[in-house]
Structures are given as C-alpha cells and as structure tokens.
Chain A
C-alpha cells in the first residue's frame, strides 16, 4: 500500500466518522492515529498522540484564543453590542433598508471585539432581529442580514479563523489580523450595497422608518463611546508598540471587564456565565486543534500533498486557474463541513500547493477566511443560519438560506476583488509594520 493511498483512506475514514456524527475533533484524532499507526507502527503513533496534544495545549501563541473569547463574552455581557446597534440604528435607520444596514454595521463593530462568527451572529441577532421585525422588515432580509453580518466576526480582527491559520502555517498572527481589516471593511461595504439592491428590487423587505431626533442620535453616539474606546485602545496599543497582538487579547478582555464593572453589570451570575461560556467555547476550539495536530502530520507523512500538488501541476490551468479551482472546491466543501474544521482538514494539502503557485501566505489567509465565511451561510450545513433560526424561531430555515444569497454573492465579489487587487489585504500589514527603508 502506498503512503498516498493510506492518506486517502485516512480522509475517507475521517469523512465517514464525521458523517456518523463523531465530533470533528475526535474524528480527526481517530483518523489521524489510525493513519499514523498504518504509516509508522503503534509505538510512534502512541507517542505522537500525547506529544501533539500537549504541544498544542501549551502553545504560547494559542493563549489568544481563550482571551479573545473572554473579551467577546464580557463585551456582550456589558451591553456593548446593544450600544453598537443603537448608534447605527439612530443614524441610518430611517433610510430604506436602514435597519438592515445598521445590523451589518453593528456586526462589523462587534466583530472588532469578538473572534467568532457564531458569537457575533447570536449577540447582534438578539438585539437587531426583534427591532427589524417590529418595523415591518421582511423575514428574508432580517435573518439573512444577521447570518451574513455575523460572519464578519472572523474577518475583522480578532479572529479565531486567523489564529488557527497562523498556527497551522507558522505565519504571524499580528500580520494576519491587520491584513483582515481592509477586506473586512470592504465586505461590510459590499453587504451594504447588497442591502441597497435588495430594497430597490423589493421595497417591502425593508421599509423606511421614522427618523430619530438629533438628541437621540447623539445620546446613542455617546453611549457607544465605550466600545469605540476599547477598539481604539486595543488597535492603538498594537500600533504604538505597547503590546503585541497576542497580548492585545488579554488587554481587550481587561477593558471589557472594566466596562462591565463601570456599568454596574458585574454580578456573580454574570461572571459565572461568562467564564462558563468562555471555557466551553475554548474547549470546542482546542478539541479541533488537538485533533488537527494529530491528523495533519499523518497527512504530511503519507505524502498525499505532494501527489495532489503533482496532479494540479499537470493541469493546464496556470496559477490563477488553479487558485480558482481551489476556491471552487472550498465553496462546495464549505456547504457540508463547518468552516474551521474544513480549514484544519485541508490546509496540510492546500497550503503547500498555494505557496508553490507563488501566492502570498498572508493574502491567502484572508481569501481562506472569506471562503470559510461563505461556508458558514451556505446550505445544508450553514452554522450561522442555524444560529439565526434559533433566534428567529418563527422563521423557517429555508427562508434564512434564501435570505443570505445576496450576501453570499457579495462574498464572491469580495474574493474576486482580492484576487484582482491583492493590496487590499497586504497594504495595511506592509505599512503598519512598516519597513525601515
């Protein structure tokens, strides 16, 4: 049996286990360990198992994961998500589709405090959904906006997606975070365009609402000063060399905690809820990471990546064509496999291939994250749509999936723009961590 064949069997086993309902992290572990035994025998495989688990759990750079999750939870507990939505609502709510626009802007703002798409969708959805329905917004537009807006959580830093990518590819977390800012703003803008198109074609989806008075607008703006301060201090601290992007996670969590105290929302129950949820989400991420740390070396060991790369090289496509094929494959796989798991499973093969084509690893990280965002909202396994349908109990899942289509198209446009103008991703990291010459 050739190594590449064992590698393929490993993938087959992995997908079989996942289809049965084995949690992704444990499916990676089982397939990885079985494959490693086939490649190197039991004793080496047994060694890999505990060694990799420990190496992952004690990896300094991964300390950002629990800290960013904590920051998001604290921010949500102190009511910052509501403030964000309010300010956008007061200023643009009176426009046609304005509340949907406010939701997208709120999501973008909250994304700067939250590393997870699901958390962003839940948090903003809770605030925005009842409001949009109250003003007569259509089911499709209101749920689609939340599901799609939530995905900004992994593009605008901080982002668990970038942390995983950085860990798996040994790239700088800091550079990836900074690289996500402009594409994140661009995608926010494209979402707003999508909303404008929707309400132009179907005005009933997002009717205009009575404008807010100036006093209300400024009051909401002042209230949002808290969150703006946290974001500016965190980004400013990185830019000003006060702390590293890894440390920014802890600093952000500290600010969010301070906000909780200042707003007199700190109670035992709140703290215990925040800690409990932070631990559970951290466990979710690390289970997958540990599984990946066993599965990825097995795939490298099997030699499968080289075989696949050889096949791709043989195709008469050129770098752009190959890249398009990869993106297409992700769009399809993203339909059935949850985003972060998909990245973890495929990077051992795709990353060397993309580097071989001569693409910039930071830029590809951004592309990768947008493609994962598409997966988060595409049927049948669109995690963000599931989340939204738990908030909007009265709306059918099919309606949510129909509602995200325009936003999915906006993501395609974003990917194409990034391919045409890679500077959108590389400009900021290149100037912020500026060269001395």
Chain B
C-alpha cells in the first residue's frame, strides 16, 4: 500500500449571510476520515492580509494535510466538490470558493506566494498561472478568487510560530438564533488557563471575544498555545446552543506574521500590511466620529496616519504623541479616495524615542519676581506691578514631564486583528510542525 501526502487548500466558502470555511473544513475532515485519510497535521487555519477589501470577515483560509492511499487520491476533489455544492449559499454573489490539491512536498513556488498573500494583494491571474504551471487539480467557482487563499494556505506549513484555536459549531439550521455563550464561564476559563490562552476576553471592556455575531455556524472559538489547552478550556464554556461538532485548528493567529516588512513611506502601496518608521510631523487631531489623525515623516515623505474610534484607549496614546517623537507603526494601508490620500491605519505602535516637551511661559520680573506681560509684538515684556520693561526678554521654556513612555502599545484585544501578536505572546514562540496529534482533535 503506497501512501501519498495530500495538501487540500480551500478558501471563500462563506459569505456575510452564513457558512464558514472552517466549518466546511470540519465536514470535509469527517468525509475524508471515512475515505481512509491519516492526518499529518491539525487543519491549518491561515489568516491572510487583513487589509484586503474583498475579504468576508477574518480573511482565513484552511488546508487539510493528510496521507491517503495513492489510488484514492483521485477521489478527494470530486468528493469535496459534491460536499461544496451542498454547502454553498448561492444567493450571495461575492462568494468565490476555491479548492486546490497538492501532493507530496509543498511546492516551493507556493511558499513564496503564501508569504506575499500575508501582506500584499495578489491578483487572481497570478493564482491561475500558478495552478496551471504546477498542474495542480482545483475547483474554482465565480471569479476564482478563492484560489488565492487555497494556494496560500497550502503554501504556509506553519513551520515557525503558531497557535491553536478550538472552534465549536452549531447546526447550520440554527444559525439565526442566539448563541448564548455564558460570559461568566468564559472569564472563569480565562482565569484558570491564564497565559496558555490569549485574545479570548477584553479585560478593560469586560467583554468576551470568543463569540462571533454573524449568522455563521461558529458558536465560539478559543485561542491558545497548545491543542490540549484549548480542548480542556472548551470544557468550561457554557452556551445556550448545543455543539453539533468541534475541531482544533493550528493557525498563524496571534503571531504577527503579516507585519514582517519594514517599508519606507515612499514605497507604501495600497492594502499593504507594513511596519513604517518615522517622526511625528504634526500633532494629532480628533475628527468627526472620534478618529485620531496625525502625520509622520521619514525625511523625504510624509504620510497621514489614522487611529480609529473603536480602538478605544489606544487613541489616547496617539493623542499624546507630539512633533519629533520617533515611532515605529504597524499599519494597514487604506487606498486614496477623492476625499483623502493614502492613509496608514495604525494597528500597533512602538515609541522609539520621545522628544522633550516644553511649554513657553512669560519671563519673571527680576525686581518683583512676578511674571511679566507682553509689551507688544517684538517689544519684549513689561512688569505690570513695578513697570520694569525689558525689550530683549523672551519667553522661557519649561520642560514638561511626558505622560508616555518608550515601548510597545497595542489597541485593546477587541480591536486587534486575528493576526496581531498580543501583549501576552510578545516573547512566546511555538516553533515546528507537531510530530503527533492529540487523540481527539475533532468530533465527529
């Protein structure tokens, strides 16, 4: 019996009106297990560039990696296609599913493609060229955009830092009802597991982050460092809706994998996820809607930066920056419109160096030690108590203690991207592909 390694990538099997690529993947795991698949890895949930305008929610694609008897490999795509046709919500025009199969080692070309899709936009034309050149069997519906995610998911074997997410699903027929995740049970879970979990609650807002709000089949998703952590933690969660199925994914969530390129302001492109460095060029202003806007410069080029209202207390940090502060910003690039130029949407901030802040005050009268008043434009200062005049006197600079400190700042967890490396993962790395999977990582 000859076994073949199979990588089955998929994307865009969802819409804002329902469905979810990860849920579809869990149905496919059941189907392929029946076909005799021997699992090489947990399903990989790969988040891609979060600044893409046509993403549904979190821009996530999935790959299933397994071994199968060589003679059965030809059955994988037809069986997946049958399941896909049953699953699709065809009333939504912006669902463009794609599935791709690669066998053996992951093609080198896909590794580069996948890296690009983490921080740039990739045209469908490139994905189509790639499947043709590598002769990869695929299914693509609609405008074939799903091919991009499917190929990118295959091309990211998560050899470096990764995390896990346990996702519990409800019946697809019950997706219009309230999930009813018990808030107390989530806080208790978080307290019990501490740093072994991340981004499941927002402590400052006392909010839970594990429960989505759309009409998709996900009841909740628990993010953590190991498969056993998330499986055990899920036992503590109570919800009104029953779990119909669950599965553990190995993911690039919480790894900051999209922010590895430092980009000069002159080289910024629309939709990029990038790290830019510069000096604050103008102090921030708050515009309608509560958003904070300021400019940075790296010498030859200036760029407008935006910190949005939902980022809450993170905006306060932006409002305290002053001209001359040296910063490194994690940004997503919003394209220009008729109303504004390219805008850097700030999703993280590192203060590299704070400039000295001073306030200017009128000089003190040398005779009576009271503050003098201006004697008029370019006429110096005069003391209104004793009448002393000093035409040469100038305002005095008084240093002010900065409220900010150099270091890293992030929006609160509720406003972070799936890919954002949260504070409690700053020094943590889980490297390497697991050798063995835990006994029960999905049900059914």
Partners in one complex: no
